[in-house]
A and B are shown apart, each in its own frame.
Chain A
Amino acid sequence: MPPKDPINPSDEALAKDYRRYLDPRTLAKIANLDLRARLVVEGYISGMHRSPYRGYSIEFAQHRHYVQGDDIRHIDWKVFARTNKYYIKQYEEETNLVCLLGVDCSESMAFRSSEAPMSKHDYAVSIAAALSYLALRQQDSVGLATFDDGITRFIRPTNNPAQWKVVIHELEGSTGPSKTSLRKVLDELSERLKRRTLIVLISDFFDDLENIRQGLRYLRYHRNEVILCQVLDPAELEFPLKGPTLFRGMEKLGTLLAEPRTLRERYLEEMQRFTAQLRRLCRELKLDYVLFNTRDPLDVALSTYLATRGATMR
């Protein structure tokens, strides 16, 4: 039996083995982000056996009268032969979906507990890379914005295949010391995006909910679709710590010496209330919300993207 080649696998092998590349524990062992993204997407798609979204092409929309200045290449000569009048053929927009991936690079995203195979940032970057690969493969335009308390890097969306390398290169950067300030980031994004865009925000969203609400509302006002991917560490979700612990807060939030067992109940309440409020906010603004535990496989992110894309295209 020939050895398996993870880069050029056979269809059967892909169907059988690539699924495991959706598992963060496996992906964490692959340092190369390019390879990691490819494996995720290929694994995901081959796992589906058939992609219903393959082969989109230019579709006819309507005819209109030719006016001076129109490109004569678009005159429908068959109609002219029948009617002796000049008509111009109009099509649906040629470009597929425009997708902007917003990746949080604030200090809190660097958190990784012993329960997690990778940090929240690594996980977010993996999602972003996989999505960009998938999107480009679908002929969609892909852009990237990294941010913390402001946008630190912005790559305008394009469907040029070379965009993949650019995105990957930018994603390989690390987190900074700043804290998340989503209101400012989302406002800035709204200003920069000229077209209706599917914005995938990947962050822990550890920010003031009201600020988030204002920012998202502004994005929606500009008719953008938004997917919120909240990435959290399993320790943040379950708080399994024991014994006296000095918590050193990231993003300059001070320290706290406490016995975790005494705080666990209250902490989980606070955390659940926050995620519930975030989820409710998304529902109000008709946004998609996905909560990622950095221990979970990444295919949920891809499914959500494709589902949203389909809805947006219709």
Chain B
Amino acid sequence: MKIGVVTFPGSLDDRDAARAVRTVGAESIALWHGDSDLHGVDAVILPGGFSYGDYLRCGAISRFAPVMSSIIEKAKTGLPVLGICNGFQVLCESHLLPGALTRNHALHFLCSDQTLKIENSSTAWTSSYQVGDEIVIPLKNGEGSFQCDDATLARLEGDGLIVARYVGENPNGSRNMIAGITNERGNVVGLMPHPEHAIDPLTGPSADGLGFFTSILNQMVSK
């Protein structure tokens, strides 16, 4: 089981994502933004950070990196892809997921432990959870406010495409408290908070984030 973790110029959380992959017993493969070869990986993680300095819009330039051409093509035929934070922004800019992430409504950069409620446990990345589970993982972003038009929001709600919602006060102004969404197929998931920073109580607020990584492992093993 090989899970690729992409490094863009400006990625920050690629090492933690790779560590999370190894923690659940999968092999982590480093993918480079300038290389369109996916090296035979079974799934891909787009990590958090500030790829290409967040110039223009977050994720707008990364979306055209050579590695993304291959990921976009394969994601459309079922390759599991998890985009965390900046990775979520890249997925929206790639149009693999609808909507966009915009500036937090209070303009502050957020960095805190955030409670989330899992809303969909049938995606490639959330099958280890139960719907209604509450998890605590770090949230750290400046542009994490999920926005989309009313029709898209109705579709996300109606088709069960919301993966996780913020619990408590809305931290960043996201519509309907959306913290993460998936595509119809359930192979592509974008999440603003960081499960890869919550895999060990020694270094994170909990080990609640592990479920994202065990989910993908279980899916691959059961295939």
The answer to whether A and B interact is no
> Which residues of B are in contact with A by a Cβ distance under 8 Å?
none
> Which residues of A are in contact with B by a Cβ distance under 8 Å?
none
